[in-house]
Amino acid sequence: MILDKLENCGLYESIHPAFKKAFDFLKTTDLLTLPLGKIELDGSNLFVNVVEIAGKTAEEARMETHIKYIDIQVPITATETMGWIPENDLKVITEPYNVDKDLAFFGDAAYNFLQVNPSEFAIFFPTDGHQPGIANGTVKKIIIKVLV
């Protein structure tokens, strides 16, 4: 898991071959004006989901993991809190892994919480259980999916 400001994204471009393209998109795009929906940057290897979520409490937000994709999550209209726990510590499966959605849900509680502000990003790898969506009100956000 990585948390940092967008202005520092160059520090992370060498971690994965697609990160530079993902961060170039974030740096050169007016994120506030993006319409909701999917934007393909490299087919299913690298794409952007622009979403609007209704904020939840920590008790309502669900812990999740992915196997095929890395998430780069960027709230753009409000601060979002995201829970984190190592994937190895997750024990309570509430929805088993769905291959088509690349998604599993867990009932475990996060023991670390990150406040991610607009102009910041969080990267969650397959080894990271993450609990996004903890916020007040509605949050427009970017989720970039990077094929492992």
pLDDT (0 to 100) of residue 76: 97
User: Can you give the pLDDT at residue 42?
Assistant: 98
Task: Label residues 125-137 b or e (16+ Cβ within 10 Å = b).
Answer: beebbbbbbbbee
Q: What is the pLDDT of residue 6?
A: 97
Count of domains observed in the chain: 1
Residue 99's SS3 state is coil
Degrees (nearest 5) of the Cα angle 146, 85, 131?
Answer: 65
Confidence of residue 118 (pLDDT cuts 50, 70, 90): very high
The arithmetic mean of pLDDT across residues 87-108, rounded, is: 98
Residues 130 and 2 sit within 8 Å (Cβ to Cβ): no
Q: What is the pLDDT of residue 2?
A: 98
Q: Which domain holds residue 95?
A: 2-147
CB contact set of 90 (below 8 Å; sequence gap of 6+): 63, 65, 106, 108, 129
pLDDT per residue as tens digits for the range 33-56: 999 999 999 999 999 999 999 999
pLDDT for 10: 95
| pLDDT (average), residues 70-92 | 98
pLDDT the model gives residue 74: 98
pTM of the model: 0.97
What's the CA gap between 147 and 125, in Å, rounded?
A: 10
Nearest partner of 1 among 117, 107, 125, 135, judged by Cα: 125
CATH at 109: 2.60.120.370
Instruction: Spell out the alpha helix ranges (H) of the chain.
Output: 19-28
CB 110 within 8 A of CB 85: yes
* Cross-strand partners of 82: 114
